[in-house]
Structure 1
Amino acid sequence: MGALKWDDLFSRTLDKIQQCHQLVFPGQPPIVKKGHIEPIDISEASRGSNQKVIMIKNLEVYGLDPTAVSVALQHRVQASSALNAVPGSKDRVLVQIQGNQVQQVGKLLLDKYQIPRKYIQGLDKVQNPGKKK
């Protein structure tokens, strides 16, 4: 019978395990789901005559109400927003806000909702206001 090193045993075992994540919200039992946790996705698109809109997806994954986020953004940036169903998924909503508001969206998610930066995708589109390239 051959001997198996601990490192080999651990690597073989970890290769067989399915990935999962756990979300813990105050006052609720933990929620365990399969696979990686999806990041909040902030993307930019152009509409009509060179008008920019920002789209925010996956807020529900982090226990955030898209309607509440949409209203908070409207008040913060004085721009209109809309909620749209995410194509191909049920129970998912996309928040769309007019203008290039990536910086304000980032501040809202990081400061008010305390979402860690590593779980927000698209913040790299933010340019520091003091630096010009």
Structure 2
Amino acid sequence: GGAAAALAADGFDSLRALRASSISASDLEGYGVPAERAALALAATKSEVPAWLLANGLEDAAAAALTATALAADGFDSLGAMRAAELAASDFEAAGAPADAISRLVSALTDGGAAPAAAEPVGQPQVDLDAVPIDEMLLLSLIKVAGGQKKGATFPTHMPIAELQERLIDRMTAFHKVSVEGEAPLLKKGAIKPIHIEMKRAAGHNKTHVSGLESFLISPDALAQALKIKLGCTTAVLKLPGNNVKEQEVLLQGHCVQEVVDYLRDVYAVTSQWVDLKLKK
């Protein structure tokens, strides 16, 4: 209808778009949604509960929206939550459900009741997934390649969704994110590099080298101090070779490879899949 077209024209062309927005009931009225339906329409974008209430006892859209809001405030924001808690008549009454509808709601919750009407995309046209129309945005971002085009080159007007998804993934750049409680997350381009633990022997002594800690937001100084106390060995923090290298390595006196692996796992939750071992004798 007119309301759906108006919403779609402003970018609200799907349930996901409405959920991501801060649109209000009054905004919906401004797009042409009848006032008596606006509250329910808004609540329905957040939950299936309003539509279920209407399908199983409530006759007023506004009352359904208000009851659903009250239930959600108590943690019952889905049918699954309501069924798991086995809501009773008193619960619906406390949420403001009309007295004449409460018994029907309790029965419907126990027996399954009528399912709410399936949500339909707002103003979203049906698209053949085997022949998606190529608009200017898709053409520039996924079809044309950088560096100019040959004279007379032509481009497809339709493509299968699977091929478009493949092209999208090919053009994406890999990033990784490391999050540690109490620290700002680390977001870097490319795949995460593992921690390197290498055992070397020099001047008749075993030495364990640990590097790559910064990729996991682990302080080399903190690790060196902790292992010095835990293992009772001499430790040092050294700058890695290279003019533009900022990373450091922890050097431990002795063969401490397994002890370091265990400590990283137990204290920092860095499992063996993120540790690269190089053992030399």
Whole-angstrom distance in 2 between the partners of 1:72 and 1:5: 56
The answer to whether the 8 Å contact 2:240/2:249 transfers is yes
Corresponding letter in the other structure for 2:272 = R
Query: Which range moves more in the overlay, 69-78 or 94-103?
Result: 69-78
Between the two proteins, what is the percent identity of the paired residues?
25
For residue 101 of structure 1, the aligned residue among 256, 264, 277 is 256
Q: Amino acid of the residue matched to residue 6 of structure 1? A: I
Range moving further from structure 2, 20-29 or 68-77:
20-29
> Any stretches of 5+ residues in structure 2 without a counterpart?
1-155
Give the length in aligned residue pairs.
Answer: 123
Q: Which has the higher contact order (CA 8 A, sep 6+)?
A: 1
Change in CA separation of 1:104 and 1:27 when aligned onto 2, cut-off 3 Å:
closer
Question: Which residue is equivalent to 1:111?
Answer: 266
Instruction: Give, in angstroms, the shift of residue 28 of structure 1.
Output: 4.5
Q: Which amino acid in 2 is paired with 1:70?
A: A
Q: Distance in 2 between matches of 1:28 and 1:84?
A: 24
Q: What TM-score, normalized to structure 2? A: 0.40
Is 1:22 the counterpart of 2:173? The answer is: no
- The answer to which structure has the higher helix fraction is 2
Structural mapping, 1:46-125, within 5 Å: 46-49=201-204, 51-88=205-242, 89-122=244-277
Higher strand share: 1
Query: Runs of 4 or more off by more than 6 Å in structure 1?
Result: none
Larger Rg: 2
Q: 1:12 aligns with which of 157, 164, 167?
A: 167
Show CA shifts across 1:44-82 (max 9, x none): 111112x22111011122111111111111122221111
Counterparts of 1:19 and 1:91 in 2: how far apart (Å)? 23
The CA deviation at 1:86 is 1.0
**TM-score with structure 1 setting the length:** 0.80
**Secondary structure at the residue paired with 2:252?**
strand
Gaps of 5+ in 1: 126-133
How far is 1:2 from its partner? 6.0
Aligned-residue offset at 1:17: 1.1
The residue number in structure 2 matching 1:39 is 194
